[in-house]
Every structure is written in structure tokens, then in C-alpha cells.
Amino acid sequence: MSLTDGDIAELARQVVDEVDPDADIQISPADPVDPYRWQTRAWLVSALGRNSYIIAEANAEDAAAKLRADLTQP
């Protein structure tokens, strides 16, 4: 099962809350013009001054680990 917009939002919030619960998070489709044109959906998640690129085919555990590594690791 592929990740959805809601899944990404929830995972990003959980990860960012570990560092700064008041931090803003921006989530954008990887292709802002037509996010569903290609078969692989993906998002660019921005928070804490960093970015993470997550593809829909990732499972929730892998996506959370990637978000944690990209957004919270120095």
C-alpha cells in the first residue's frame, strides 16, 4: 500500500515534534504542476531548515526513518 498525503503529514509531524513541537512543516508534491502525472508520487518535506524527499512506495517505518535522518540529524 502506498503512502498518502495524510500519511506523510502525520509522519512528518511525529518526527519534527521529537525536536521542536512548535516548528512549521511544509509538504509539497515533488511535481507541483501535476503531482499525479507520473506513476511514482513523492513529496518534499521541509522543516527545521532541512528537506526530505519521500516516495509514496516507501513503507511508513522507512519513511519515518528517512524523515528523521534528513530533518533532525546534524
pLDDT of residue 74: 76
CA distance 44 to 53: 5
Q: What is the DSSP letter of 59?
A: -
pLDDT of residue 66: 97
pLDDT of residue 33: 64
Number of alpha helices (DSSP H) and beta strands (DSSP E) in the chain: 2, 3
Q: Is 15 exposed, middle or buried (0-12, 13-18, 19+ CB in 10 A)?
A: buried
Place of cell 500519511: 7
Tens-binned pLDDT, residue by residue, of the chain (74 aa): 689 999 999 999 999 999 999 999 999 988 766 655 656 788 999 999 999 999 999 999 999 999 999 999 87
